Amino acid sequence: MAEVVELVTAAVDQAAGRWEGLVDRVRRLGGAAATFAAASLDSRLLHGALLTAMGPTEEAVDLLVDVIAVAERVGAVWPLIPARTTLSRLLLTLDDAAGAAEHAGAALTQVRAKGNWVWGAEPVLCLVDALHALGRGGEAAELVDELAAGITGADAPLARAALLIAQAVVARSRDQWGHADRLLDAAHSVLKGAGLRYEEALAAERLGRLRCEREAADGGRLLESALRLYGAMHADRDIARICRIMRRNGAPIPYPWRGGRPSLGQTLSSRERKVALLAAEGKTNQEIASSCSFPGAPSRATSPAHCASSATCRERNWRPYRSMKTGPRLVR
């Protein structure tokens, strides 16, 4: 019973985006729940879903394929549908649209057999994405209509958001860009309001990509918001993907994901402050480089770079140094 309670807690943490240490918890839980078949399957499914976002990819695929095989063997429909859906989503990120369509279609077959369309929302979305990637977008509209009829009246934010996103994919394929934007914006709001952080990030990424394609001013901001959500969850695979998208669209990538110096804005870094103080004392570039112990051999070129960086700060940041005897300067 304790394993079931811990599994439910882990699933809630996953939905809420509290992923710190979650992989280790789920891995331990998988071993502890080995004597309870259902809990063991669910823990491996959760583990695979986390690795789909965080990596490594190969381990995620192995886990999900294993869950699918066991679930099919024992006839367990619930882990089977989300496992195939999660694998389909992963294959889409690997540009394997055909494989994604196969698994999403198989999950949808199970949904139709059970008649539970709340379970079918994400398989439909994956299948719509896959069909769109395969140039078969015309087949998607009927699936979306079928899903819309199936979840009518259901109080299921995730399913409702998946329907809105699927409708947006269809609208975009018809060049109805404004309608697609409104649908994605609505889906993003639903997921954000429901506190589903990972799905919120995925929706923000979709909306940001669409707006970047439309050259809207806030496309980059939405991509950055998705990046920050992925970063908080340590979703390394998603971070790598969205950074590539941001570079292609000319959207600035914030520190630490872009590498290099932290974005300190109008504040001097500790190194820049030290360089500025030494320059104010009249030290030469060679003396500043030696005193600051810049990596490698002391360089006359390094200290001017730091002083130039310091000089980009606002006027008020220089006032403490101007009260000194010589004022800030470079000595060559």
Alpha carbon 107 to its chain's center: 24
CA-based torsion, 225, 169, 118, 236: positive or negative: negative
Q: Cα separation of 220 and 251, whole Å?
A: 5
Q: Is 275 part of any domain?
A: yes
The pLDDT of residue 14 is above 50: yes
Q: Cα separation of 310 and 70, whole Å?
A: 61
For 88, other C-beta atoms within 10 Å of its C-beta total 29
Q: Cα separation of 115 and 244, whole Å?
A: 39
* Res 11: pLDDT: 95
ω into 256 cis (within 30 of 0)? yes
Residues constituting the chain: 332
* Res 272: pLDDT: 73
The pLDDT of residue 270 is above 90: no
Q: Is 76 part of any domain?
A: no
Q: Cα separation of 111 and 125, whole Å?
A: 13
Q: Is 293 part of any domain?
A: yes
Ranking 105-109, 117-121, 234-238, 302-306 by mean pLDDT, the lowest is 302-306
Q: Is 317 part of any domain?
A: yes
Q: Is 308 part of any domain?
A: yes
**Structural contact between residues 254 and 306, judged by C-beta atoms closer than 8 angstroms:** no
The structure tokens listed for 70 are: 């066991």
Q: Is 281 part of any domain?
A: yes
For residue 45, the one-letter residue type is L
Range of the domain at 314: 270-322
Q: Cα separation of 308 and 291, whole Å?
A: 18
Q: Cα separation of 277 and 320, whole Å?
A: 9
For 169, other C-beta atoms within 10 Å of its C-beta total 21
Ranking 10-19, 60-69, 202-211, 294-303 by mean pLDDT, the lowest is 294-303
Q: Is 12 part of any domain?
A: no
Cut 0.85: pTM above it: no
327 secondary structure, DSSP code: -
Q: Cα separation of 135 and 9, whole Å?
A: 41
Residue 59: HSE in the Cβ half-sphere, 13 Å Cα cutoff: 14
Unique residue bearing structure tokens 């694998």: 87
Please give the mean pLDDT across all residues of the chain. Answer: 86
The structure tokens listed for 99 are: 């494989």
Q: Is 285 part of any domain?
A: yes
298 secondary structure, DSSP code: -
Q: In the chain, how many domains are there?
A: 1
